[in-house]
Chains A and B, each alone.
Chain A
């Protein structure tokens, strides 16, 4: 049912005329695709639409008032920070309200205790620059410096910089969450006072509810403010240099340095990660997939394919680069020590240092991530896991085997087994599998591969991150739990009995499988005839 004029007036009274619109051109600007993360495939085409109304609140109180109006008038809504995450963060039903949170862009830093309090509209690159100015640094997620800090931390929130503090929820401190009915929950130390310095608070840790493994994609409320832990950094400036597109941060060579090591085998690569973690040195320790190197060198997609076309299954199988970031957190002498430790480890393992640029283009400010789309125009990370190092480092090979059957439409990558790295000083291993395709081709294979990887994870007993809103919950839930889906739906029903908050998430992927004819053949699991949620 279209949102009524009465509802529009009520919403306008909250934000003022300037910050609400139902104009068709304005609303068209909020279309998910066709380009973007996880866009250019069936899920985006089948499941997303444009809003009927867009509203831009300024603070938590306005968000609460808007959400209460939505509950009163039964208006579905979706919270939206940057829109970068693709279809999952856009409208899924007709006559929906899109709550654009970009104006919640306040920022405050506590230099002494090293945390920053941010609103939903704050993205990583200014966050990181402010942290640098005050002696700290943050972990910019793999999604890039353009990701909302809050959205990334309640969704994913990791990168090679996670070597020291892997699991993102440990960086989430005091947080404000507007529940689907408009009630405000203050989490962590904010539950007992106004200082957001600590993430744990009285009662159960609600960060688990908020995040799960990779978040609930906005179906359990709206986070409007969060204190985020920073880590201590070294004091010298990372000077930006160059003119676009060739820009980078010049590293103060005695305090920050990347080194690429050519390892003789994969086994040596993994052992290197473990040993460096055990020695508790390094700011980042990661494998480098071969196509990233081609991407870094290419200025256009044609150049990328020139470079990539020279590779083959053998070059992939024999390419083992271990990239290490050394940071002299406390002193030059500490970095010298770290480098000697790493050199000793590499000598033992046969790792050979390769010439490495004295600049950072990627991780410290993560300016490069948008380049993921250069090669083919469409991209997504079809899965990521945080497991033990022994599991994470073989996970990608399972993906590569399944992927062969879906190439094309997926990009030919000669069996590349994806990316893995060390988290938490080797106590955890991280694996991510990225896929690329051209959205102008027949993309049904992309959607089918996505669900097929879930089945592969179940079969091979990998604890995959994308259990909830990313995969059909009636497929994954019974296998992981065995009642994960039922528990999730109980939580959803409890907090959002009307299902106004981002419907039909968390059952969106289940609905997609039912609606898309090319997905019928993938469905070999049981689900109710009617999915247990209200219809919009």
Chain B
């Protein structure tokens, strides 16, 4: 052992969110630089639109930023803080959008997103979490397999004449609860895009909620059962590819399912593809033709589930030793393979469409705060975040706000109505279909 270093014993550690102590190092190395809060400095647009943390904009106390939660998380781990309504609000008034994770990893190698997930799992394990609104939704999913408590028989009511669903195909379309029950226009548009670009698709005979919210609020045991059931159902169909138009479902299938089952994304047994990926490839291959002009000024909102949270999952366990170094080497997820280019390629290919960018885009996008159970428990957080984002839409003079997630669409739609804005909110599936 060289004399210029300590002989530091190696401690086991894993990217395992079921044990908060796996993230003690990460929480204890937070330097309060607030890279988790500010738009990345290189891209900082100015004094307006300078932040990307909806939670900490909604509530100014440091506790609501990831840097505050790291300190709080350590106190929870050390038994110094009791679960209280305020503590639960702090950890749940948070869309887990990944801005903090990507922001921190611009310069450091700390696992902030996983820490926040682990904190929620700990809250549930301790009998404190999740929020009452989340329990209601979880009960819906347990009893009737959908987020809204709606009749399962109505799940495929969106399938109208003219939409061809195959009995068997390489591609399986997973509509998700929102598209099935609240946004049939998204499901219909997606189905027509698949049909219209020559891709037969099938569906699960008994499609169920992906369990996004159940996992996100820390109910990991229930979420794992949902994952196992859903994966088995898809594998049984023989599908090579699962396509969804919901960013939340996409992230859940691609990242959270493998995480819960301790397997890499590549071992799911099928590819998980968002509609924008599929459509971009189809456009390049000439199978999708966008010929109808749309003479409009539009802007695109990067939905978190297909952007900074979209890197595939690889399980990891090892040891941490001298100077905090881990073995084996770990390639961290930093949001670099998010679907940033694909939606922009698609919108840019629409004749007559003028596509303008908001000040905060890609990994710096300001989350609408509807997803991952946030809107259910904190509707005012979702409402205020959407309205703040709409300020950017107005700033760039866009007539149409496009996103790739029904949660974003519905949240923005509600905010637009309340504001009385002259902005049309559309899902990218609708925009693509309108040009076919």
Cβ-closest 3 pairs across A and B:
A29-B68, A29-B63, A412-B4
Are A125 and B105 closer than 8 Å at their CB atoms?
A: no
Are B107 and A25 closer than 8 Å at their CB atoms?
A: no
| B46 smallest CB distance to A (angstroms) | 5
Indicate if B5 sits at the interface (CB-CB under 8 A).
Answer: yes
Are B62 and A365 closer than 8 Å at their CB atoms?
A: no
List CB contacts (< 8 Å) of B65-124 with chain A.
65, 67-72, 74-75, 80-82, 84, 86-87, 90, 102-103, 105-109
A-contacting 9-mer, from B186-194, B269-277, B331-339: B331-339
CB contacts (< 8 Å) of B74 on chain A: these are 34
Given contacts A28-B71, A244-B106, A376-B324, contact A123 B81 (CB under 8 A): no
A-contacting 9-mer, from B27-35, B344-352, B422-430: B27-35
CB contacts (< 8 Å) of A536 on chain B: these are none
CB contacts (< 8 Å) of A1 on chain B: these are none
Indicate if A439 sits at the interface (CB-CB under 8 A).
Answer: yes
Are A26 and B86 closer than 8 Å at their CB atoms?
A: yes
B-contacting 9-mer, from A209-217, A366-374, A387-395: A366-374
Indicate if A411 sits at the interface (CB-CB under 8 A).
Answer: yes
Are A84 and B34 closer than 8 Å at their CB atoms?
A: yes
Are A103 and B62 closer than 8 Å at their CB atoms?
A: no
Are A305 and B109 closer than 8 Å at their CB atoms?
A: no
New A-B pairs, 5, CB < 8 Å, besides A30-B62, A244-B40, A299-B332? A127-B47, A130-B46, A365-B42, A367-B40, A376-B323
CB contacts (< 8 Å) of B90 on chain A: these are 25-26, 29
Indicate if A82 sits at the interface (CB-CB under 8 A).
Answer: yes
| Residue in B closest to A376 when the chains form the complex, CB atoms | B323
Q: What are 20 inter-chain pairs, A to B, with CB distance below 8 A?
A: A21-B61, A23-B86, A28-B63, A28-B71, A28-B80, A29-B62, A29-B69, A35-B31, A36-B32, A39-B31, A84-B31, A100-B61, A122-B47, A245-B336, A247-B106, A370-B108, A373-B29, A375-B323, A408-B5, A411-B323
CB contacts (< 8 Å) of B8 on chain A: these are 438, 440-441
Most B CB contacts (10 A, CB to CB) among A130, A361, A375, A377 go to: A377
Are A146 and B41 closer than 8 Å at their CB atoms?
A: yes
| Residue in B closest to A39 when the chains form the complex, CB atoms | B31
Given contacts A25-B72, A302-B326, A412-B4, contact A126 B35 (CB under 8 A): no
Indicate if B325 sits at the interface (CB-CB under 8 A).
Answer: yes
| A317 smallest CB distance to B (angstroms) | 16
Are B62 and A125 closer than 8 Å at their CB atoms?
A: no
| Residue in B closest to A102 when the chains form the complex, CB atoms | B60
Are A240 and B43 closer than 8 Å at their CB atoms?
A: yes
List CB contacts (< 8 Å) of A421-476 with chain B.
438-442
Indicate if A301 sits at the interface (CB-CB under 8 A).
Answer: yes
Indicate if A300 sits at the interface (CB-CB under 8 A).
Answer: yes
Binding site for A on B (CB under 8 A): 2, 4-6, 8, 25, 28-35, 38-47, 50, 60-65, 67-72, 74-75, 80-82, 84, 86-87, 90, 102-103, 105-109, 322-326, 329-330, 332, 334-336, 338, 340, 362-363
Classify the secondary structure of B's interface with A.
loop
CB contacts (< 8 Å) of A82 on chain B: these are 32, 34
Are A249 and B42 closer than 8 Å at their CB atoms?
A: yes
Are A54 and B61 closer than 8 Å at their CB atoms?
A: yes
Q: Which of A23, A29, A243, A370 contacts B336 (CB 8 A)?
A: A243
Are B33 and A144 closer than 8 Å at their CB atoms?
A: yes
| Residue in B closest to A360 when the chains form the complex, CB atoms | B42
List CB contacts (< 8 Å) of A381-428 with chain B.
407-409, 411-412
CB contacts (< 8 Å) of A127 on chain B: these are 47
Given contacts A366-B41, A377-B29, contact A301 B47 (CB under 8 A): no
List CB contacts (< 8 Å) of A119-165 with chain B.
122-130, 133, 144-146
Indicate if A16 sits at the interface (CB-CB under 8 A).
Answer: no
Q: Which of A84, A129, A368, A441 contacts B6 (CB 8 A)?
A: A441
| B9 smallest CB distance to A (angstroms) | 10
Are B33 and A302 closer than 8 Å at their CB atoms?
A: no
CB contacts (< 8 Å) of A300 on chain B: these are 109, 329-330, 332
Q: Which of B2, B61, B106, B329 contacts A26 (CB 8 A)?
A: B61
Bound CA span A83–B63, Å: 12
Are A129 and B46 closer than 8 Å at their CB atoms?
A: yes
Bound CA span A535–B335, Å: 50
CB contacts (< 8 Å) of A409 on chain B: these are 6
Q: Which of A35, A243, A365, A374 contacts B109 (CB 8 A)?
A: A374
| B108 smallest CB distance to A (angstroms) | 6
CB contacts (< 8 Å) of A25 on chain B: these are 63, 72, 81, 84, 86-87, 90
| Residue in B closest to A84 when the chains form the complex, CB atoms | B32
Are B30 and A35 closer than 8 Å at their CB atoms?
A: yes
CB contacts (< 8 Å) of A123 on chain B: these are 38
CB contacts (< 8 Å) of A370 on chain B: these are 31, 33, 35, 106-108
Are B32 and A438 closer than 8 Å at their CB atoms?
A: no
Are A126 and B40 closer than 8 Å at their CB atoms?
A: no
CB contacts (< 8 Å) of B64 on chain A: these are 29
Indicate if A254 sits at the interface (CB-CB under 8 A).
Answer: no
Bound CA span A234–B372, Å: 45
Indicate if A202 sits at the interface (CB-CB under 8 A).
Answer: no
List CB contacts (< 8 Å) of A298-314 with chain B.
299-302, 305
CB contacts (< 8 Å) of A243 on chain B: these are 335-336, 338, 340, 362-363
Bound CA span A166–B202, Å: 68
CB contacts (< 8 Å) of B329 on chain A: these are 300, 302
| Residue in A closest to B332 when the chains form the complex, CB atoms | A300
| Residue in B closest to A248 when the chains form the complex, CB atoms | B42
Bound CA span A245–B35, Å: 12
Bound CA span A302–B31, Å: 19
Bound CA span A83–B28, Å: 15
Are B60 and A126 closer than 8 Å at their CB atoms?
A: no
Most A CB contacts (10 A, CB to CB) among B32, B60, B65 go to: B32
Indicate if A480 sits at the interface (CB-CB under 8 A).
Answer: no
| A500 smallest CB distance to B (angstroms) | 22
Most A CB contacts (10 A, CB to CB) among B28, B65, B86, B103 go to: B28
List CB contacts (< 8 Å) of A245-286 with chain B.
245-249
Bound CA span A246–B4, Å: 32
Indicate if A115 sits at the interface (CB-CB under 8 A).
Answer: no
Bound CA span A299–B388, Å: 33
Bound CA span A361–B34, Å: 18
Are A408 and B44 closer than 8 Å at their CB atoms?
A: no
Bound CA span A103–B86, Å: 22
Are B6 and A240 closer than 8 Å at their CB atoms?
A: no
Indicate if A523 sits at the interface (CB-CB under 8 A).
Answer: no
Are B325 and A305 closer than 8 Å at their CB atoms?
A: yes
CB contacts (< 8 Å) of B43 on chain A: these are 240, 247
Most A CB contacts (10 A, CB to CB) among B6, B68, B325, B338 go to: B325
